[in-house]
Amino acid sequence: MNSPASIANPLARWPGLGLWNLYFLAKFLMLGAGLLDFQALPNLLFAAFLLVPLPWRWLRIGRQLLAVPIGIVLFYQDTWLPPFQRLLAQPGVFDFTADYLLELLGRFINWNLLGTLLLLVVAYFYLRHWLRLSTLSLAGLLWLAASGLSSIAPVVSRQATAEVTTQQATVTVADNATLDAKLKSFFDSERQRATLFPAARPDEQPFDLLVINVCSLAWDDLSTVGLHDNPLFARLDVIFEQFNSATSYSGPAAIRMLRASCGQASHDMLYQPAPEQCLLFENLARLGFERETLLNHSGHFDGFLGDIVNQRMPQPALTNADFPRALVGFDGSPIASDLAVLQRWWERRLASGEAHVSLFYNTISLHDGNRVVMADGGTRAADYGSRANRLFDELGKFLDELQRSGRRVVVAIVPEHGAALHGDRMQLPGMREIPTPSITHVPVGLKFIGMDQPDRREPLRVAAPSSYLALSELVSRIYANQGAGQTLDVAGLLEGLPTTEHVAETSGAQVMDFQGSTYMRLQGQRDWQPLPKESNR
């Protein structure tokens, strides 16, 4: 019962959380399922804001109206999703088709979670008459806050233990200062590395280099659709098993490929002019290779073609408008068949009479949201597996055509990044804001056609952690070993290729390996945090 003093003084009456208990209990449930990056202190402050007694009814109503947007913002902040302003910073989002936007909306719906939350609502309305649920919510918040504070102690303890046992092993605590220093050291070291291309050989055996840059293809995607072992990769001569694309977006990935002849640059440096020695196709041009660019799409989305041309690459001689539509992109633009585009280009190349050609070909046939064009001109959705099978089949037919030509050709298949098919606790399926290892661990392979090499039953595999510099070094070695009468010793060429530690970036996030664990930092945040295990594939 309320005392006479409490009735006379409204400030003495402390309200409960009411329906806001559902808000906090739902967060506890999602936290237990690993779906939230819960921050106890802001949630405690929000609960205190809701509990402070107010003397006038209009103030209490105003508080509830103000609490709704605050609660929404706080809930979004507690998720693994990147800051909302990152979405607004992507102008291409507004070019998505209605079909694709509807598909993306469907990915936000977790039916299992919705069913569990519905049961929570029923339990709340049933139990609120017998239990003080506000007490339960506050106890949970206080326990989580205390757990967060107590977690500091083991870190200090581990640090002290490490200092005592330095004679046995060196262990460094992964705090912000250590990880910042590690990242700076990585980029300082990478700035010193570059491929030294040989001088032009007077006795060279001419060959062409074809770089096939595939959007949305990672080892994780292939495993998801049961294509980890596929006929196309089985016929390659070399496969890089631990290749890091270093980004999860197309523009930066293409720039990194075209700048492969230098060590890994930071994301911001990609948009600064590069030294000539960093440009792979510029190095090849000095050896007599004619540079060419080819796309099976327009290249207009997000200024992709501009990113390529800015690396001293020519405009494409063929455009997607020269071919029938095979697919319709996520933005409604036409996408041509890979086989049709590559065959037409090859016919032009054979007629050109050039001794050397280096081609950069980019395909978006596997991009999220693409739709297959049917015989009547309409479109239908196509799953990733069927589109991947189609791409591999068409690339296989193109390799057959290269072999029939009798020319010497090196084909390098270099994916930009993965498709993020299954998503994880931080990102929805198809979302690539955070360049997690499951997105940046891509299958890179090479095929040598007409290059006088011994037959082999399976590809040679490069198991060391690699990135673009290793690919550039391999191209340089291939040219250096193409003198008259020389046989291509592929195994020898693979020895001692440059290795690269795992660091990946977008404009919104950084991801880095350190002492066997993976850490990430989002844009605008000072603190690094461990990448959840589910995301570290």
What would the pLDDT profile of 448-485 be if each residue is shown by its tens digit? Answer: 999 887 777 899 999 999 999 999 999 999 999 887 77
- Select the highest-mean-pLDDT range: 54-58, 98-102, 296-300: 296-300
Please tell me the distance from the alpha carbon of residue 65 to that of residue 58, in angstroms, as a whole number. 11
Name the strand (E) or helix (H) holding 7: helix 4-8
DSSP sequence for 436-499: -HHHHEEEEEEEEESS-----SS-EEE-S-B-HHHHHHHHHHHHHT-BTT----HHHHTTTPPP
Domain ranges of the chain: 4-150, 153-186, 191-323+330-364+392-499
Between 164 and 221, residue with greater pLDDT: 221
Rg of the chain on CA atoms, in Å: 28
- Its CATH class, for the domain covering 191-323+330-364+392-499, is alpha beta
pLDDT at 438 over 80: yes
Predicted confidence band at 9 (pLDDT cuts at 50, 70, 90)?
Answer: low
pLDDT at 487 over 70: yes
Please tell me the distance from the alpha carbon of residue 485 to that of residue 452, in angstroms, as a whole number. 9
Between 100 and 409, residue with greater pLDDT: 409
Conformational region of residue 515, where left means phi above 0, alpha means psi within -120 to 50, and beta covers everything else: left
- The sign of the dihedral angle between the CA atoms of 280, 264, 460, 201 is positive
Please tell me the distance from the alpha carbon of residue 398 to that of residue 413, in angstroms, as a whole number. 13
Cα dihedral 303, 100, 532, 68, rounded to 10, equals 110
- Select the highest-mean-pLDDT range: 13-17, 103-107, 245-249, 421-425: 245-249
Please tell me the distance from the alpha carbon of residue 184 to that of residue 514, in angstroms, as a whole number. 13
Q: Which amino acid is at 426?
A: M
Contact 329, 344 (CB under 8 A): no
Say what the pLDDT of residue 138 is. 87
Say what the pLDDT of residue 111 is. 75
Q: Render pLDDT for 260-319 as a digit per residue (tens, 0 to 9).
A: 999 999 999 999 999 999 999 999 999 999 999 999 999 998 899 999 999 999 999 999
pLDDT at 238 over 50: yes
Say what the pLDDT of residue 84 is. 61
CB within 8 A of 313, min separation 6: which ones?
258, 281, 291, 293, 360
Provide the whole-model pTM: 0.83
Name the strand (E) or helix (H) holding 360: strand 357-363
Cα dihedral 434, 435, 436, 441, rounded to 10, equals 160
- Across the chain, mean pLDDT equals 87
Crossing angle of helices 133-150 and 152-164, rounded to 10°: 20
DSSP, collapsed to helix, strand or coil, labels residue 73 as: helix
Please give the backbone phi and psi of residue 449, each rounded to the nearest 5 degrees, phi first.
-115, 125
Conformational region of residue 284, where left means phi above 0, alpha means psi within -120 to 50, and beta covers everything else: alpha
